[in-house]
Structure 1
Amino acid sequence: MSIAYAALAVLLSLVLVASGRGKLVKDERVTSSLDGIGIPRGVFPVLAGLEFAGALGLLIGAGFRPLGIAAAVGVVLYFAGAVIAHLRARDVKGAPVPGVLLAVSAAALALAVATV
């Protein structure tokens, strides 16, 4: 097990769980951003579920690397979609946060693959 992967997986999982929780409880900071780019509120539970699944997969992936790689790929795709959604809606101010999380999840993927 890579200590760097484990540390990054824990930190990224905390962010994913906090973000998913915000979607489920309809936190104003989360909902205003998603409303602003045209994401229907009915999709929030699905997005939260994807974040929770990614967090769990990253954590379990510390011990079972194939799952960690799969989860990291999913999280990369999730945040790539988030960046694209913000840019398509011309929400340049909202794109940096998912952009940074995309970079962090790509780092987690690279560490997961490098330490197989």
Structure 2
Amino acid sequence: MSVVAAIISLLLTLTFLGMGAGKVAGIEQMRRSADHLGVPPGLNRSIGVLELAAAAGLIAGFWIQSLGLAASIGLVLLMVGAVYYHVRARDPAGQLLPPAGLGVLAVINAVLLGLT
């Protein structure tokens, strides 16, 4: 794993550990955001579990690179879904940037992991 991929993997891991745990725990801010986007509570918790699983896969990717690659691809798909929900809610472009940026980072990570 390259140094750049390792740094991106670590950043994505920390981000999605926090976001996934918040969704699974049902933190108020996460519930309000899901309500705004029209995401049902059960789906929001499921997304949180997937985010935690991706974080675990990114960590495992330090030893088994294919798991890190799979986790990165999963995060790309989750962020495509997040952007879709923000667009559907007619959020301003500024609210699309965080999931889009995280999705781009996950794409870069997947490409870097796939190349090595």
Same fold flag (TM > 0.5): yes
What stretches of structure 2 of length at least 5 have no aligned partner?
none
Q: Which amino acid aligns with 2:6?
A: A
Quick one: distance in 2 between partners of 1:56 and 1:71?
Answer: 8
Alignment correspondent of 1:35:
35
Alignment correspondent of 2:46:
46
Alignment correspondent of 1:58:
58
Offset of residue 78 of structure 1: 0.6
Are 2:86 and 1:86 aligned?
A: yes
Maintained 8 Å contact 1:5/1:62: no
Percent identity over the alignment is 36
Q: Which amino acid aligns with 1:114?
A: L
Q: Which amino acid aligns with 2:23?
A: K
CA RMSD of aligned residues (A): 1.3
The residue correspondences of 1:61-80 to structure 2 (distance < 5 A) are 61-80=61-80
Quick one: distance in 2 between partners of 1:78 and 1:43?
Answer: 12
Maintained 8 Å contact 2:26/2:45: no
Alignment correspondent of 1:104:
105
* Larger helix percent: 2
Maintained 8 Å contact 2:13/2:59: yes
Quick one: distance in 2 between partners of 1:45 and 1:33?
Answer: 13
Alignment correspondent of 1:16:
16
Quick one: distance in 2 between partners of 1:44 and 1:69?
Answer: 24
Quick one: distance in 2 between partners of 1:12 and 1:45?
Answer: 19
* Number of equivalent positions: 115
TM-score, reference length from structure 2: 0.90
Alignment correspondent of 2:114:
113
